[in-house]
């Protein structure tokens, strides 16, 4: 496996700081949780599926970019004794733009 480059590490660190800021603002109950990081893996589409959805143009024009998904997870125990997982997933690109921030239902 190739070693991560310095620039990749720098962008990862910067992206993580952005993700942590998003969590502080939108999901304060997860503030302080150390995130797990993964790379966003684009879906593979058959031409037939893309055509069926009417998105051929979107897929044809999409350049490959590196985006990180930061997963912040903690579990609580409800008063009824059930395990309540609380997950936030924040997707950030190498230019520190937040692609999306979502949480578990």
Partner 1 sequence: MNLLVASFVRLRLVYGERVMRRVVTAIEELVAARAARGIESRLLLIEEGLPDLAVVGGDVSSEALARQLGRAATALERVGDSLESVLLIGGHAVIPFDLAPNPTAYDGDISVPNDARYSARSQSALVAEWSVGRIPGDEGPGANGMLLVQLLQQAAQLHWHGPRVIMKTFGYSTAVWREATAEIYGALSVASALLSPPTVALSLDLSLLDGADAVYCNLHGVRDGPVWYGQTEYAGGYLVALRPQDVLGVKLDGAIVVSEACYGALIIGRDQRNSLALAFLARGSACFVGATAMSYGPANAPLSEADLLALHLWREVGRGGATIGAAFVAAQAAMLRDTLRNQAALDDDDRKTVLEFVLYGDPALALVAP
Beta bridge partners of 77: 83
Footprint of partner 1 (CB under 8 A): 26-29, 36, 38, 40-46, 49, 52-55, 58-59, 62, 69, 71, 73, 75-76, 78, 80-85, 87, 89, 91, 99-105
Residues 6 or more apart whose Cβ sits within 8 Å of residue 55: none
| Beta carbon of residue 44, minimum distance to partner 1 (angstroms, whole number) | 7
Contact indicator for 23, 31 with CB cutoff of 8 Å = yes
Contact indicator for 87, 78 with CB cutoff of 8 Å = no
Of residues 6 and 82, the one with the C-beta less far from partner 1: 82
Of residues 6 and 77, the one with the C-beta less far from partner 1: 77
């Amino acid at each position: 496996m190739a070693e991560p480059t310095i620039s990749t590490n720098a962008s990862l660190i910067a992206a993580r700081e952005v993700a942590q800021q998003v969590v502080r603002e939108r999901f304060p109950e997860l503030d302080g949780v150390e995130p797990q990081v993964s790379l966003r893996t684009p879906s593979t589409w058959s031409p037939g599926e893309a055509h069926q959805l009417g998105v051929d143009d979107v897929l044809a024009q999409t350049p490959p970019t590196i985006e990180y998904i930061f997963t912040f997870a903690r579990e609580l125990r409800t008063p009824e004794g059930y395990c309540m997982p609380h997950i936030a997933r924040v997707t950030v690109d190498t230019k520190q733009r937040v692609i999306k921030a979502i949480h578990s239902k």
